[in-house]
Amino acid sequence: MTDPLVLAAVGWLRARLDEDEQWAREASRPYGQYTESGEHWRWEGENTDQPVTIDPMLGEFVEGHDYEPIGLRSAETYPSRSGSVGDLVHLVIRGQEELEPAVAGHIARWDPARVLAEVAAKRDLLAVLLDYEAAIDAEWGCCHSAADIAAGACPDRSLMWAAALKALARPYADRPDFPEVLRA
């Protein structure tokens, strides 16, 4: 693959994935330590430490809320510094009484662990596309002229690349530096 616009778009997209990864890692850093796979967040009652269940279809808390304040906490536990109180959770948000259930569900669903998994999946997809491109170039050589493609001598990958990169980049379309080649 030699198209400079495509290469620039791939580089730009990789930079956005790096940013997403960094934000998720920073959000998963209790007590100054990184949680390698990211934290899984959940809502719990402040007084009971019981998980709060949210029904996304109803948009309401359905279990464990009992009108007490809720807090967003890590599902993972960490040893306390003193060791005398046992393992602790990472409190992300504390005492949210007026939080809309749909917002609460969305925040917990897009926890750092999920974002890191999404970033890894998108990087894997880019790698598959690049490997495919390299295999095609090795088999067919670089014969990207319109005549060669029309004659069936070289597969046209430009449509596949354009569609794949546009789909992967779509979540970042509101950025001022969004590449023009991905808008078309």
| Each residue's pLDDT tens digit, 15-69 | 999 999 999 998 888 777 777 888 999 888 777 777 888 777 776 766 666 667 7
Query: Chain-wide mean pLDDT for the chain?
Result: 78
Q: What is the pTM of this model?
A: 0.75
Look at 146 and 66; give whichever has higher pLDDT.
66
Q: How far apart are CA 167 and CA 151, in angstroms?
A: 29
Q: Which tokens belong to 143?
A: 């014969």
Q: What is the pLDDT of residue 184?
A: 67
Q: How many CA atoms within 13 Å lie on the side-chain side of 1? A: 20
- The model's confidence at residue 139, banded by pLDDT at 50, 70 and 90, is low
Are the CB atoms for 12 and 87 separated by under 8 Å?
Answer: no
- List the chain domain ranges: 4-24+113-182, 40-110
Q: What is the pLDDT of residue 151?
A: 55
Share of the chain above pLDDT 70, in %: 73
